[in-house]
Structure 1
């Protein structure tokens, strides 16, 4: 998933270096109650005995490592796993799957722990969580233009490694702490995606452990049905990925990071200008529009070119947009845009992306998404959105991520080519409301998310982005016309539904 784009990325990423969030300790204060419940569900002794032959490191309830592993990005649902297993090898993953099947418990891979609905912990109590942090290899093949990446690698270390190895990258999200596994398997959008595609589009090959314990390679020529399904719907529905092979892209030339801020009274005009511009924007530019009820109104992104060309690229936007209150235009190298996108200064040392000494923290939020297709909102739709937003919860924000437009490579790929079906989108709106410092606010924030989603639905589509997963949405919103084919692949590769969570691909 792509959690912590823009302002949220700064909040989560920066604060992770400062402290363990007090919420994490408060939310897990009921550890004893959950521990007992988990023991009853899983049979800790039997599970320990089953996992022992693999020599995997295992954390059971009550241990400090268990509590630490249980801290995921959204602390809204403090699920209590049966245990965390930390494999370093494929046989250890195979053993974990075999034990889950033998003992009749759920199993879930955890790459970065950024699932909006806490599906990284299985979406329920009593699940064996396979923590993939041990799969952290990064092998760059300059001649082939590819990189092999372990499924436990996070985006910050991956971007930094690729920059240092060859000034190349993969098109991935802005938040350094996100794990590559769930991100790539659900799409994976970022500020180079309109030029290079979704991260899932750049998967050349996967290595997958299946429900029967088999270890297979999936690519265009081998196990092609699994390869198709995993690129957009692969998060814990078909197997556990241990390694990806991605296509990489040259980003050695200078690039331009830009940000323009506008007034609250100009939100309607800014949205109108943004979508008119986005329809025709060149593939070399990717952008977002951030809005919030208190007046936030910022247009920002990355242009894969020199700053001297930016005015021409943005001319259609500024022909229709108001004059900005503030602006920042920086011609820098690519790795420093990664720092800016994480909410850090371009003067920071890029080594911070390695996440050394980083403390992962939990936050409380509800998120939804909705995809808007060309030509974008009508004037009535824009006004409805702004009116509803400005009257809503102040602890919320909305990010219009430009997926499409006539030049975007995302839209040049057929909707049936991969499981990621959203090939006729213009932009996706990420909707987030958080109540970190006021738990009594939760009900009002959640209600507001539903209210504004329903308000704009008549002007948008029934589609939503699976990496911003929302338990209130039907699977058809995420997989559309590809859903029936995904069910067929599910029956073939996981006929007993070993890999499942509340919104996984079903058997029928």
Structure 2
């Protein structure tokens, strides 16, 4: 691949597109190449802001024909910064932020540059929602292509379990719609296979009735982690699917709903969501006392869209991020002790660890129905080193990698692909896809035989036999 973009190539791009082509000579260049994770500092030769699918098709053709490196940016939330490539071209889909809801069919047609907040806002007006993340600034595209989980996963499955179709620009510049009946092999691969197969310009999702939900936030001192884990690992998998609760370790942030005396203290926590009858919220989460008296327990009804954005202010764009992940089907006592030690050793105020439930409805989808290969997992964990100060980048990365390294022997071997870092090797990608890797490689050969789309957790095209 080439890493240069000469003036004629830039001019060809500009003449072919409705959207702007931003190069290092443009005053908006630094802003355009800035993504959510401030630890990433890459310099594309150009960022192409695609106005529509036609722009994407034209840009893919010219990038491919000029032998350039290519990356795709939806929401710019990629932890490892895979939406940017030094010296190449980033297709920026941010102008394609739109959502069209069909309340009668309970579907949403969503532009490839949309954020989860856009989707939640549009669907909430009709009392509908799709399972998708816990932070509203996350891009719909990256989250969906990785599989997608969130507060509604135990009730309604993964994001990809609710994907009905996807509009895709392929490596040859052609446009197709993938669904259960059109390009079904591609549709299978898109549901968890990441950005390996093309540029998704629009998604169609199935929606579910969701309006006001019950929220429960419970904190315990971090030295109580083994007791809390012992309770949580039994409670959560047996709970009704209207109950969702992720386990976390954190430093209590200042501000409501947390009392001032807890601000800055290291805690373990469960953050819960209840989609059942509103009058049963208190009763449902009263069981937290079985883990021992909490230091703080808060319950309240909340619009689902408000819950989705509830933690946005804690982790705004522009922070230093380094993360890794793993799937778990159990949390043995020895693992609970690891959680306690690293919770007590959180190095800066925003570092955290979350274990998101991926059982319930998600576990009832057939193992081979989508590219997501861990239907037998109970939790998808992320170990997140986060801080505002670049001087702490090495510290938070070391805490994250050490924590992950000690927990990995208790894991199932692979991770949610969006939690796999750019510095992890090809074997890590294979372990994430398990027995699905070879099938993904065959689909890759059919739709992207020369691996144009490789700025991702890459699946190599299968060799011809």
TM-score, structure 2 normalization: 0.90
Instruction: Determine helix, strand or coil for the equivalent of 2:272.
Output: strand
Instruction: Confirm or deny that 1:424 pairs with 2:376.
Output: yes
- 2:51 is aligned, of 88, 102, 105, to 88
Instruction: Tell me which residue corresponds to 2:353.
Output: 398
TM-superposed CA distance for 1:435, in Å, is 4.0
Checking the alignment, whether the CA contact within 8 Å between 2:194 and 2:457 is kept in structure 1 is no
Instruction: Confirm or deny that 1:129 pairs with 2:90.
Output: yes
Partners of 2:13 and 2:286 in 1: CA distance: 63
For 1:479-494, list aligned pairs within 5 A: 479-494=433-448
- 2:324 is aligned, of 355, 361, 368, to 368
- 1:98 is aligned, of 54, 61, 73, to 61
Report the CA distance shift for 1:159/1:40 in structure 2 as closer, same or farther (over 3 A): closer
Checking the alignment, whether the CA contact within 8 Å between 1:228 and 1:417 is kept in structure 2 is yes
Instruction: Confirm or deny that 1:495 pairs with 2:453.
Output: no
Instruction: Confirm or deny that 1:169 pairs with 2:129.
Output: yes
Instruction: Tell me which residue corresponds to 1:114.
Output: 77
Report the CA distance shift for 1:234/1:455 in structure 2 as closer, same or farther (over 3 A): closer
TM-superposed CA distance for 1:137, in Å, is 2.7
Report the CA distance shift for 1:431/1:223 in structure 2 as closer, same or farther (over 3 A): same
Instruction: Determine helix, strand or coil for the equivalent of 2:176.
Output: strand
Q: CA RMSD in A?
A: 2.1
Deviates more, 1:323-332 or 1:292-301: 292-301
Instruction: Determine helix, strand or coil for the equivalent of 1:393.
Output: coil
Instruction: Tell me which residue corresponds to 1:249.
Output: 208
Report the CA distance shift for 1:95/1:487 in structure 2 as closer, same or farther (over 3 A): same
Report the CA distance shift for 1:53/1:394 in structure 2 as closer, same or farther (over 3 A): closer
Checking the alignment, whether the CA contact within 8 Å between 1:385 and 1:455 is kept in structure 2 is no
Partners of 2:348 and 2:267 in 1: CA distance: 11
The number of residues matched between the two structures is 444
Report the CA distance shift for 1:363/1:388 in structure 2 as closer, same or farther (over 3 A): closer
Partners of 2:337 and 2:316 in 1: CA distance: 38
Partners of 2:144 and 2:309 in 1: CA distance: 21
Checking the alignment, whether the CA contact within 8 Å between 1:71 and 1:360 is kept in structure 2 is no
Instruction: Tell me which residue corresponds to 1:61.
Output: 24
Partners of 1:42 and 1:461 in 2: CA distance: 43
TM-score, structure 1 normalization: 0.83
Checking the alignment, whether the CA contact within 8 Å between 1:371 and 1:428 is kept in structure 2 is yes
Instruction: Tell me which residue corresponds to 1:260.
Output: 218
Partners of 2:50 and 2:10 in 1: CA distance: 15
Instruction: Determine helix, strand or coil for the equivalent of 1:289.
Output: strand
- 1:47 is aligned, of 1, 10, 13, to 10
Checking the alignment, whether the CA contact within 8 Å between 1:289 and 1:299 is kept in structure 2 is yes
Partners of 1:315 and 1:309 in 2: CA distance: 10
- 1:225 is aligned, of 185, 209, 218, to 185
Instruction: Tell me which residue corresponds to 1:313.
Output: 284
TM-superposed CA distance for 1:113, in Å, is 0.5
Checking the alignment, whether the CA contact within 8 Å between 2:225 and 2:336 is kept in structure 1 is no
Instruction: Tell me which residue corresponds to 1:384.
Output: 338
Deviates more, 1:237-246 or 1:263-272: 263-272
- 2:163 is aligned, of 203, 212, 216, to 203
TM-superposed CA distance for 1:470, in Å, is 1.4
TM-superposed CA distance for 1:487, in Å, is 0.2
Checking the alignment, whether the CA contact within 8 Å between 2:44 and 2:86 is kept in structure 1 is yes
Partners of 2:37 and 2:302 in 1: CA distance: 33
Report the CA distance shift for 1:272/1:107 in structure 2 as closer, same or farther (over 3 A): same
- 1:151 is aligned, of 79, 104, 112, to 112
1:392-436 superposed Cα distances (whole Å, 9 cap, x missing partner): 5345211121222xxx10111122110111211111221011343
Report the CA distance shift for 1:50/1:264 in structure 2 as closer, same or farther (over 3 A): closer
Instruction: Tell me which residue corresponds to 1:445.
Output: 396
Deviates more, 1:94-103 or 1:472-481: 472-481
Which structure 2 residue ranges, 5 or more long, are not aligned? 252-264
TM-superposed CA distance for 1:105, in Å, is 0.4
Report the CA distance shift for 1:382/1:115 in structure 2 as closer, same or farther (over 3 A): same
Partners of 1:392 and 1:297 in 2: CA distance: 11
TM-superposed CA distance for 1:64, in Å, is 2.7
Partners of 1:279 and 1:423 in 2: CA distance: 14
* More helix by percentage: 1
Checking the alignment, whether the CA contact within 8 Å between 1:291 and 1:399 is kept in structure 2 is yes
Instruction: Tell me which residue corresponds to 1:464.
Output: 415
TM-superposed CA distance for 1:312, in Å, is 4.5
1:153-175 superposed Cα distances (whole Å, 9 cap, x missing partner): 111121011112x1111111121
Which structure 1 residue ranges, 5 or more long, are not aligned? 1-38, 345-358
Instruction: Tell me which residue corresponds to 1:326.
Output: 296
Instruction: Determine helix, strand or coil for the equivalent of 2:36.
Output: coil
Report the CA distance shift for 1:51/1:499 in structure 2 as closer, same or farther (over 3 A): farther
